[in-house]
Structure 1
Amino acid sequence: MNKDKRTAIFERLKAANPAPKTELEYESVFELLIAVILSAQATDVGVNKATRRLYPVANTPAAIWDLGEAGLIEYIKTIGLYRSKAANVIKTCRALLDDHDGVVPATRAELVALPGVGRKTANVVLNTAFGQAAMAVDTHIFRVSNRTGIATGKTVRAVEDRLMRLVPKAYLQDAHHWLILHGRYTCRARSPACNDCVILDLCEYRHKNLPEDNTP
């Protein structure tokens, strides 16, 4: 895929959704961090249901630490892998209190040092909370990038690196939101909604889900 086609793709995605944002609900950087940790192998809808109960009771590192692991589990037990996530969240709260004065750090190195925080989670926080150009490659972005030809790669890191290099700078800040939402609602893993796709004619996927006579 050439530069002009990539630019056209992001022009259309921006026109369709000028101000994209995460579907996780949060009101502080800390709330976002915890929501992203909880979202691993879980839906944003499921995480939001849990945090709507949790955050009114505890939405700071100190407050969640005071809940303890068992107390936290009562709020997040509807989410997959809730036991390991509860353990990591409690450890992260302790680390934030001990090492960062309760403030979420704004560097990738410091973020990934927190329990339960990997590169993808760190990138979400850096991009969404701190306005840094970062690409949080999840299963949706990995699929869309490879399927459309925007940025192909055999690994998540390879796709991340190519996206950071190939996405036009004017669109880099919001690119991961557009790609996630496109993968979640249009370019789905099964039965992609190609008939409703705003980048249909620019997409290089060979097996578009269209009637034969409508395939571009």
Structure 2
Amino acid sequence: MNKEKRYEILSRLREQNPHPETELEYSSPFELLVAVTLSAQATDVGVNKATRKLFPVANTPQAILDLGLEGLRDYIKTIGLFNSKANNVYKMCEILVNKHNSEVPENREALEALPGVGRKTANVVLNCAFGWPTIAVDTHIFRVSNRTKFAMGKDVVAVEQKLEKVVPKEFKVDVHHWLILHGRYVCTARKPKCGSCIIEDLCEFKEKTE
């Protein structure tokens, strides 16, 4: 795919949604960090349902430690893998209190050193909480990037590197939101809705649907 086509795709996505945001609900960097950690292999809808009950009661590292591990588990037990996620969030809170003065660090290395936080989670936090032009590649972005031929790669890291290279600076802060939402609602896994897609004429996917 050439750069003119990529530019047009991003321009249309921007025009359709000029100020995209994550669908996870949060009101602070810490709430976002917890929500993204809980969202691994879970839906944003499911995470929001749990955090709507958790955050009014505990939305700081110390407040979650005060809840205790069992208390935290009770709030998030509707989310898949809740036992390991509760352990990770609890240990994360201990580190934030002891090492980071209860603040979420604006630093990739420090974020990735937290339990349950990988590259994707760090990218989301740096992007959404701090406005960094990072691109978090999830399954939706991986699929959309490869299927459209926008940025092809054999794994999420390869796709991230390709996107970093081919996405112009003016789109970098918002591109991962556009691609996630596009993959979630239009370019869906089993049957993409090509007929109602605003970039269908630019997309290089060969097996388009009606």
Question: Secondary structure of 1:173's partner?
Answer: coil
Question: Secondary structure of 2:174's partner?
Answer: helix
What does residue 40 of structure 2 align with? Answer: 40
> What amino acid sits opposite 2:57 in the alignment?
V
> 1:1-12 residue pairs with structure 2 within 5 A?
1-12=1-12
> What amino acid sits opposite 1:162 in the alignment?
K
What does residue 140 of structure 1 align with? Answer: 140
Does structure 2 retain, via aligned residues, the 8 Å contact 1:73–1:83?
yes
What does residue 189 of structure 1 align with? Answer: 189
Structure 1 Cα separation of the partners of residues 159 and 66 of structure 2? 40
What does residue 163 of structure 1 align with? Answer: 163
> 1:1-216 residue pairs with structure 2 within 5 A?
1-210=1-210
Moved over 2 A (4+): none
Residue 66 of structure 1: how far off its partner (Å): 1.1
Does structure 2 retain, via aligned residues, the 8 Å contact 1:6–1:168?
no
Residue 168 of structure 1: how far off its partner (Å): 1.3
> What amino acid sits opposite 2:29 in the alignment?
V
Does structure 2 retain, via aligned residues, the 8 Å contact 1:61–1:93?
yes
* Residues 34-88 of structure 1 deviation map (CA, whole Å, 9 limit, x = unaligned): 0000000000000000000000000000000111111101100000000000000
Using structure 2 for the length normalisation, give the TM-score.
0.99
Structure 2 Cα separation of the partners of residues 170 and 78 of structure 1? 39
The runs of 5 or more residues in structure 1 that have no matched partner are 211-216
Residue 126 of structure 1: how far off its partner (Å): 0.4
> What amino acid sits opposite 1:63 in the alignment?
A
Using structure 1 for the length normalisation, give the TM-score.
0.97
Count of residues paired in the alignment: 210
The runs of 5 or more residues in structure 2 that have no matched partner are none
Residue 179 of structure 1: how far off its partner (Å): 0.2
* Residues 152-179 of structure 1 deviation map (CA, whole Å, 9 limit, x = unaligned): 0001100000001101111111000000
> What amino acid sits opposite 1:68 in the alignment?
G
